[in-house]
């Protein structure tokens, strides 16, 4: 697996693994199967694993810690804080208060079974707490040796600048794919100005760009995608027509549609490290192989022509989740 460097600080595989779906949002996975997938990812050369407090909540960090025990010194583990929960684990909103920053870090270290978090993200910017206070507490954790590098997720330009002025931000994690190209206008140029690497989550648009999800009835009853606008009603059929056009290009390249979509993300810059999720070994292997696909200028033009920016119909989230994205 080729490698890339996050913010000049962390050397990671060119493609990481988003671990959320093993415990959260998409129906989950039996623990033995999830552990097998995580270890197979490492065997394939993937050394960058992404989890978060909210995934479960809490259960995904425990899973990742268990799976990576014994190879801890060979992997880069990223986790995230930033929410309030009720006793049942329901999300109540953002929490960027300094005391929560530090409390979650301590809890995450225990759940993961590690001594230091390689990359600690604020999962969502808290509109009620100055980001300088939040990042100041995160920086304390770096000085204490509990965290190696800091990140933000779904943060807007102003928040990124203010955060970076307090302590260097190593990576910004936000949604980016052929289906979601909003970061190209302002966020990616800003990250490059400041030396911040970009970590796209959902680089396959939650599986939509794989072309394998043709009907939401095939998804588990608790799969959140059943309620996402891009997967709903007439939007799904029209969006799949775009994906089918990608599939034609993929066939000519001798790769899968998912591999083509991931290769496109990788070709947007060496400072970009996508973290697609995978629960099936076949999908994991498929994703890992995308790092070796070369696209020339003619390929990239053909992809852009087949799948123009902002052509996909429907919002990427429901209204409540969209409201938490920092502008």
Query: Among this protein's residues, is 58 annotated catalytic?
Result: no
Residue 252 CB neighbours (<10 A)? 11
DSSP letter for each residue of 45-106: T--EEE--TTTTTTHHHHHHHHHHTT-GGG-EEEEEE-EEE-TT--EEEE---HHHHHHHHH
Q: Is 277 helix (H, G, I), strand (E, B) or coil?
A: strand
* Cα separation, 295 vs 265, whole angstroms: 11
SS3 content of the chain, % helix, strand, coil (to 5): 45, 15, 40
Among residues 26, 55, 120, 176, which one is catalytic?
Answer: 55
Q: Is 237 helix (H, G, I), strand (E, B) or coil?
A: helix
Please identify every residue annotated as catalytic. 55
């Amino acid at each position: 697996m080729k490698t890339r460097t996050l913010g000049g600080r962390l050397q990671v595989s060119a493609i990481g693994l988003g671990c959320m779906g093993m415990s959260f949002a998409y129906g989950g996975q039996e623990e033995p199967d999830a552990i097998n997938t995580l270890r197979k990812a490492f065997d394939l050369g993937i050394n960058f694993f992404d989890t978060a407090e909210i995934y479960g909540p809490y259960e995904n960090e425990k899973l990742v810690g268990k799976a990576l025990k014994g190879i801890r010194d060979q992997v880069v583990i990223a986790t995230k804080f930033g929410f309030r929960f009720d006793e049942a684990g329901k999300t109540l909103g953002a929490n960027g208060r300094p005391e929560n920053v530090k409390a979650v870090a301590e809890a995450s270290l225990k759940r993961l079974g590690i001594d230091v978090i390689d990359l600690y993200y604020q999962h969502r910017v808290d509109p009620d707490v100055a980001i300088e206070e939040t990042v100041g507490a995160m920086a304390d954790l770096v000085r204490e040796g509990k965290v190696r590098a800091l990140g933000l997720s779904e943060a807007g330009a102003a928040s990124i600048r203010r955060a970076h002025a307090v302590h260097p931000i190593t990576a910004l994690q936000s949604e980016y794919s052929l289906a979601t190209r909003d970061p190209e206008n302002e966020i990616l140029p800003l990250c490059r100005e400041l030396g911040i690497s970009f970590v796209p989550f959902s680089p396959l648009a939650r599986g939509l760009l794989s072309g394998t999800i043709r009907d939401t009835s095939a998804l588990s009853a608790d799969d959140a995608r059943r309620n996402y606008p891009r997967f709903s009603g007439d939007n799904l059929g029209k969006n799949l027509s775009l994906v089918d056009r990608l599939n034609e290009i993929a066939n000519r390249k001798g790769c899968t549609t998912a591999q083509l979509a991931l290769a496109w993300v990788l070709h947007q810059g060496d400072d970009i490290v996508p973290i697609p999720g995978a629960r099936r070994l076949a999908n994991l292997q498929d994703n890992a192989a995308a790092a070796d696909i070369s696209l020339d200028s003619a390929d990239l033009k053909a992809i852009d022509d087949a799948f123009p920016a902002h052509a996909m119909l429907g919002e990427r989230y429901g209204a409540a989740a969209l409201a938490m994205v920092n502008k």
